[in-house]
Amino acid sequence: MADQTFRLPDLGEGLTEAQLVAWRVEEGGRVDVNTPLCEVETAKAVVVIPSPWAGTIHKLHARPGESVAVGEPLVTITPVEATQAEATPGTLVGYGPGAPESGIRRKARSAPAATESSSDVRAAPFVRQLAKDMGVDLAQLTGSGPGGRITRADVEAAASSPAATAPAATDGERRISVVGIRKAIARQMLRSVSTIPQFTEFAVFDATNLMAAREEGKASGRSMTPLPYFIAAVVKAVRAFPLMNSSWDESRDEIIVKQPVNVGIAVNTSQGLLVPVLRDAEQLQLTAIAEKSAQLIEGARAGTLPPNQMSGGTITVTNVGASGPVETGTPIINPPECCVVAFGAIKPRPMVVQGEVVARSGAWISISVDHRIVDGALATEFLTALVTELESISA
């Protein structure tokens, strides 16, 4: 039978390319249908691509670290004589009838790669190559990944530290290849500031009731972070001002007001900023918001979320004060959304209560909005409603 070339499939969500992370096979090796061929990193996740045919690997068309466009050759396979069962369509994992929406099988990050070295150092092949290129000794690192696995972020942090052993160039410069998720973030942010006329407004809210509700929840065994309270308040404010839950259709110069409130949650991960989406948040009670958002955040940091759980947001929240004493910031809109809401650190601050200055828990809020859709007056009304919702929280 003639050799067959398998091309990088459309991985869904409008993605046009992927970076080859590691091969799971080698030239001359035997594969069956659904044998993992390789790991690729897209703009949203790391996935494993299975073989569509049984046969012998004739040629690998890309090297780890290279970007491969959708439709470009990935691997050429010399097929074996197919049995009737093998010839039946629709049996490939991740493709055909019953395939998941993402069109590809997800990688289980907690499992070691098949090609990983048997040494004591736990790191994927592409991480080992990155360490080699950057002159980083993996044996000297403590991995921050699952089971002590060394991640790309660990290598990059070590390379940028004063103790880094080998500079990339004689003039002290170091170049980092921008691919995959980091490249997607760069493109998205450039699109935001280049195409959306956005402005930002700020406010401070009294978090006394919110903190009291948290303490009462802890006492009853229902502990949660401030984030679910933030999300619930944003949803209520959006229901009062639905234009904040919209997008601009550039092709038709129309505003599209969205019915469901799908809240994107900005999450800092070792791969960069990811935004998993809490869908239909307007239908969820506070406890469900807490549970589902925690699962999304954990999945984003572990790299186990499929692409369809990181798209389709209608408004985004970011807790800029979650990891430090950051007061506030000017968040950048996540296209094609209309609004992003940023919450600063909750801490004691002077407030005027009944004519007297007292110390109370409070935090800054900042919202950035698309000025094509929202004018300053509406943004102020929305922000005022959001403050009111937060200050009226009850246990």
Residue whose tokens read 């493109």: 187
Quickly list DSSP for 155-205: HHHHHHSTT-S--SSTTS-------HHHHHHHHHHHHHHHH--EEEEEEEE
Are 51 and 32 spatial neighbours (Cβ–Cβ below 8 Å)? yes
Inter-CA distances, 247 with 103, 115, 376, Å: 26, 44, 17
For strands 277-278 and 246-249, give the pairing. Answer: unpaired
Read off the tokens for 118.
């048997």
CA 186 to chain centre: 13
Are 245 and 374 spatial neighbours (Cβ–Cβ below 8 Å)? no
Are 161 and 287 spatial neighbours (Cβ–Cβ below 8 Å)? no
For strands 267-269 and 272-274, give the pairing. Answer: antiparallel
58 is an active site residue:
no
Q: Which of 191, 301, 371, 372 is catalytic?
A: 371
**CB-based burial of residue 111 (10 Å sphere; 0-12 exposed, 13-18 middle, 19+ buried)?**
exposed
One-letter amino acid identity for 178? V
Residues in the chain, how many? Answer: 395
**CB-based burial of residue 301 (10 Å sphere; 0-12 exposed, 13-18 middle, 19+ buried)?**
middle
The rounded distance, in Å, linking the Cα atoms of 377 and 333 is: 19
Catalytic positions: 371
